[in-house]
Amino acid sequence: MAFRIGVDTGGTFVDVVVADEGGGLRLYKVPSDPRDLAGAVLDGLAEAARDQGLALPALLAQTERIVHGSTVATNALLTRRGARAALLATEGFRDILNMRRGMRERPMDSRRPPPLPLIPRERIYPIRERLDCDGVELEPLDTAAVAATARALRADGTESVAVCFLFSFVDAAHEQAAARELERELPGVHLSLSSEVLPQVRLYERLSTTVVNAVVSPLLAAYLDALGRRLAENGFAGSLLVMQSNGGVCSPEVGKRFGVRSVLSGPAAAPVAAAHLAGLAGLRNAISVDMGGTSFDVCLIHDGKPHVTTEGELAGHRIALPMVAIHTIGAGGGSIVGVDARRMLKVGPASAGAYPGPACYGRGGTEPTVTDANLLLGYIDPGLFWGGRLRLDVDAARRALDERVARPLGLDTLHAAYGAYRVVNENMVDAIREVSIRRGHDPRQFVLLAAGGAGPLHVGALARELEIPLVLIPRLASVFCALGGLLSDLRHEFTTSFVTPLDTVDLARADAVLARLRKQAEATLRAEGVAAADADLQASVDLRYLGQFTEVEVPLPGGAFSPAAVAALAGEFHRRHEAVNGYQLPAHGLEMISQRIVAVGRTAKPTLPELAVNGSGREAAPRGRRAIYWDNALVDVPVYAGLALPAESLVRGPAIVEQETTTVLVPPEFDLLTDRRGNGVLYRKDLDPDAALARLRVEAP
């Protein structure tokens, strides 16, 4: 039997999804270990093997593909514990990294300092060289200075070097010559050339992205080498793929060279899975929310595709590569609950993580968390958490909340716990508003899709607050990022700047540039083993009005330049500009800024299996009852075994639906209906679920 496996390493758990050739899907969770992430991944795979009645080598020998979402690059950037890196820059432009764009991150906060640059000024080396904006050499590269700099870097233990010259996006010859000198003097050093990382206009964006790549790539490369070696030692001979920030996957070889492409490796997979699942329900507009142990990630999905941005930042560092537009806040099951200096209850952003974890884990944690609050409120069964493998300590949770929150605020413990639940919900509601209302979208016209182990406990309250009529809760909600990896295609973007007025563009030259990009794209997919029939190349250009600062991406009709294609580009640009900015200027001249080829290698995807339909009528039978605290009162509610519910089973709220790795809280205003794939459809009582689906299909913009 051939297996395909998705793996996602989070701050608290490693999630594993195993798909077999018969269409079966199984999920597993093991504790994450930041000290040995590769070991934690192997532990998750070993757990999957035992469940299949196999030894780990036997499982891996039958596995054709492993798709891995990793937090290595993310954590290296967030903790500033990346590689020891240096930067070579054009003489006279040494301070661009420190100057940023000359603007404060928060214009109204004059006291907020910018983040410290990833490479300090003393490790930025000015090099004499100069091309003009057309690529004409004004001053040759000082190769002797590059060689002398390389020898100095070798002496101080430099692991990675970034090279960003002023007009290298027009002609990369000087950067390539510098790279040859560095390779000769520093064999084995990781090199990041801006002409390879991001060959586009805008110096600061290109420089910052290249520096991030230099800092995170060596760590990701070391991790992928270690993981690949340990997998091979255990019999794995299939392909290992790495999740990227753009919602696609790539080979480890590409991932090791361009670690900056994987800074959102894990979270980017959830919107991919959300778009797929919403599409199966006939919906093309959704808001994906993923609440795990540490964070709450939100992404808007419009017209079947997650929103992608090139305006991304992480920890204050600009990354101008395409990234799934995920808005993240520190709100997870492990988020710490406390009292601030104003004697106000607060939740997060600090997290207890996997070790010591929430107080109720019994691993030495003393600070209360969202999980501790949910346990005291009756939402979580202490004996069934993680399938019963970790029995939760109710008394420890009560002590932590009582000492750190209830007594300082003069509340009883239940009120304090419910206050924590409501505060974290308000934080998450604000995050949803950030990606919807503040960007011109009405969340009531989107389906809310809840993922993460903690998400289904909170999503009903979020929907109530935002007046969202319909929520989808995946059967595999707790391992949604791991599932998203299995649903992702290989994806690469090849971009180059090409600045010219659109009405006078040299069609032959523009086509030649596009052909070069297409050749790079085809070679990359070929190297990753993609058959020609599974390859899809999509051409587009970036356009703007003359004198404008920002541009809009427009697909190139037919994938080639011609007078008809140019006219079609102009018409489509005006339409898209109005959709994004609210106006168009048909009489104003247009300027082309960049050309782009997106290369997609289609992968085989698992089929989400369908369940048998409930034959005894829609209303399900509970397995018991439990008192929960809701709206400042104890409420006796039925409890259902989630994985035992057949398709088309009806659960009337208020209720609890329990699975091994997640729990769904159905508020009193909602009912829940399981669909053909076992996913929960949470809908307001005043709506029929079919009517709610139909309404969203019609009303969504």
CATH fold of 80-215 reads: Rossmann fold (3.40.50)
Counted residue by residue, the chain has a size of: 701
102 exposure class (CB count in 10 Å sphere: 0-12, 13-18, 19+) = exposed
Q: How far apart are alpha carbons 23 and 11 in whole angstroms?
A: 29
Whether the pLDDT of residue 616 is over 60: the answer is no
At a CB cut-off of 8 Å and minimum separation 6, what does 201 contact? Answer: 169, 497, 499, 593, 594
pLDDT of residue 617: 57
Cis (ω within 30 of 0) for the bond into 456? no
Tokens found for residue 120? 């300090």
Nearest one of 195, 178, 451, 175 to 299, comparing CA atoms: 451
Q: What percent of the chain has pLDDT over 70?
A: 96
Residue 290 has pLDDT above 50, yes or no: yes
One-letter amino acid at 41 equals: V
Query: What number does CATH give the domain 3-71?
Result: 3.30.420.40
Helices 203-233, 72-79: axis angle to 10 degrees equals 130
The identity of residue 356, as a single letter, is P
Is the pTM here over 0.85, yes or no? yes
The confidence score (pLDDT) of residue 102 equals: 67
Three-class SS state of 419 = helix
Tens of pLDDT along 1-14? 589 999 998 767 88
More confident residue, 134 or 449: 449
Strands 470-473 and 447-451, sheet pairing: parallel
Burial class (CB in 10 A: 0-12, 13-18, 19+), 69: buried
pLDDT digits (tens, 9 = 90+) for 20-63: 887 788 988 888 877 888 899 999 999 999 999 999 999 999 99
pLDDT digits (tens, 9 = 90+) for 63-115: 999 999 988 888 788 778 889 999 999 999 999 988 887 666 666 666 767 77
Strands 655-658 and 633-641: parallel
Average pLDDT over residues 399-417: 93
Q: For the chain, which residues make up each domain, given as ranges? A: 3-71, 80-215, 335-424, 494-579+587-601
Do the strands 670-674 and 650-652 form a parallel or antiparallel pair, or are they unpaired? antiparallel
Helix, strand, coil shares of the chain, percent, nearest 5, are: 40, 25, 35
Report the C-alpha gap between 335 and 198 in whole angstroms. 36
Reference 424, options 350, 325, 356, 361; nearest CA is 350
Task: Give pLDDT, residue 36.
Answer: 86
First vs last Cα of the chain: how many Å apart? 44
> Which position has the higher pLDDT, 279 or 574?
574
In angstroms, the CA 274 to CA 483 distance is 10
The answer to whether residues 448 and 418 touch, using CB atoms and an 8 Å cutoff, is no
422: closest CA among 381, 449, 398, 457? Answer: 457
- Those residues whose C-beta lies under 8 Å from the C-beta of residue 515, and which sit 6 or more positions away, are none
| pLDDT at 123 (0 to 100) | 95
CA-to-CA distance for 78 and 315, rounded, in angstroms?
6
Tell me if residue 358 falls in helix, strand or coil: coil
Q: Which of 300, 282, 290, 298 is nearest to 696 (CA)?
A: 282
pLDDT of 232 > 90? The answer is: yes
